[in-house]
Structure 1
Amino acid sequence: MACAASPDRYQEGPVHTCKTCFLGALNLLELARRKKARILQSSTSEVYGDPEISLQDESYRGCVNTCGPRACYDEGKRVAETLFWEYGAHNGVETRIARIFNTYGPNMDPADGRVVSNFIVQALKGEDLTVYGTGLQTRSFCYVSDLVDGLIRLMASDEKMPVNLGNPGEFTMLELAEKVVKMVRSRAGVTFRPLPQDDPRQRKPNITRAKTILGWSPKVNLDEGLAATIEWYRERLAADQEAEAPAGQ
């Protein structure tokens, strides 16, 4: 989980991102082999690229641009999965692979750069929400406590193949923006900007394998998760503002 997952972050140093995914996985796999430890690869829905099918199940091989701005992360995670598979199949390492879909919740960096944090911070500040493209592209948002539960179950299982962990509830960016503005009680509008290259048009996990093998499915719906996340950001921004205020005010 050491690799930056926000496009804004991983595109700042794409070679570093590739090396983190590949060399980080290799070094930890070697350590796990020596110590005979079970090890988790926190992979990503980005291995599916800009998918041409919905739902995305684990057998789908993806539609990834190997020479685009997102490739450093997408391909880095794909090669890390291959390393985990090979070490599990041929080097006797107990490997587990989780394909994590968009996760959110309290304690996300306000400057993280991903859509949930962006929308909430902008709405709380009374700024227009930035929507890329038409806003009709979709994502499936999984609350952090649900993800943690899935990871614990996966590590306790005997499953060697990749497992999707995500909430199959699917929302457009405009639907998410509307929810956030309403829940924050903001008067913020929406500003449209061009869609970045290779930005996925949709994300929706098939979690049949997780349900069947792990007995796992998400419990927190988007409204509940957003409410908790908004409250955390409200307190965080207030604390930041207080800390920045001149002494004596």
Structure 2
Amino acid sequence: MGALNLLELAARKGARVLQSSTSEVYGDPDVSPQNEDYRGLVNTMGPRSCYDEGKRAAETLFHDMHETRGVDVRVARIFNTYGPRMDPEDGRVISNFIVQALKGEPMTIYGTGEQTRSFCYVDDMLDGLMALMECETCGAMPVNLGNPGEFTMNELADLVQKMIPTHGGSVYCDLPKDDPRQRRPDITRAKGLLNWAPKVTLRVGLVPTVAYFSKELELSQVRPATGMVEGGAA
């Protein structure tokens, strides 16, 4: 209902409106990287399905309002994003790992830790969103925004541990049902339409992110990691 109300308002005011969609529309993909033409593999009865299907339904509303009433819309499929000012309790893997490590607690890794994610620094994401909103030719077509650098959860944990000497190691738990095995954006469309690609590697972006959490929690001093393979666009 929120998306429909916003679209109705945009129609009345002649405003351009952004749908902040998500990589979750791809579900647990069986292709990698995922481009915008991939229709996804979503379990509609799974524990994650209400979020996945809600975003897919919102994309449909945006597309239909664009086609039938000429509403000026943009659709961004946002992949994992991180950076300073994240909520320590938001449940995302980067905030979970950092907070646990700063507290000296074991970092919780689900499954084998070999599932992958691609992490985009918040400054890069904001640049991509602004470029999309300023694009005059994008229309209602969805555009992936994310960093194509792909990391396993074990690699992410290792990187965080190298940055935070107070860490308590790692503990492995059962993988939640329908947890995606891989997530990596194909940003060919964003490069072509927006002249956009992320600039900040995961190793670089984690430094201010850890510093922010450390200050918030009034805990240990951060030291940068060394010797890790950097993700992101060349």
TM over 0.5: yes
Secondary structure (helix, strand or coil) at the match of 1:164 reads strand
Q: 1:218 aligns with which of 198, 219, 231?
A: 198
More helix by share: 1
Offset at 1:189? 0.9
**Partner Cα distance (1:199, 1:146) in 2:** 26
Superposed CA RMSD: 0.8
Secondary structure (helix, strand or coil) at the match of 2:172 reads strand
Equivalent residue, structure 2, for 1:227: 207
Equivalent residue, structure 1, for 2:45: 67
Offset at 1:187? 4.0
**Partner Cα distance (2:98, 2:163) in 1:** 9
Q: Percent of aligned pairs with the same residue?
A: 65
Mapping for residues 200-219 of structure 1, pairs under 5 Å: 200-219=180-199
Aligned AA (2:112): T
Q: Does 1:92 align with 2:80?
A: no
Cα deviations across residues 69-116 of structure 1 (Å, max 9, x unaligned)? 001100000000000000111111000000000000001111110100
Structure 1 gaps, min length 5: 1-22, 240-249
Offset at 1:215? 0.2
Q: 1:141 aligns with which of 111, 115, 119?
A: 119
Matched residue count: 217
Kept after mapping to 1: 8 A contact 2:84/2:213: yes
Cα deviations across residues 154-199 of structure 1 (Å, max 9, x unaligned)? 0000202000000000000000000001111234211111100110
Q: Does 1:39 align with 2:17?
A: yes
Mapping for residues 168-187 of structure 1, pairs under 5 Å: 168-187=148-167
Moved over 6 A (4+): none
Equivalent residue, structure 2, for 1:7: none
Structure 2 gaps, min length 5: 220-234
Kept after mapping to 1: 8 A contact 2:100/2:106: yes
Mapping for residues 59-138 of structure 1, pairs under 5 Å: 59-138=37-116
Q: 2:138 aligns with which of 151, 156, 159?
A: 159
Secondary structure (helix, strand or coil) at the match of 2:171 reads strand
**Partner Cα distance (1:197, 1:78) in 2:** 20
Q: 1:30 aligns with which of 8, 12, 24?
A: 8
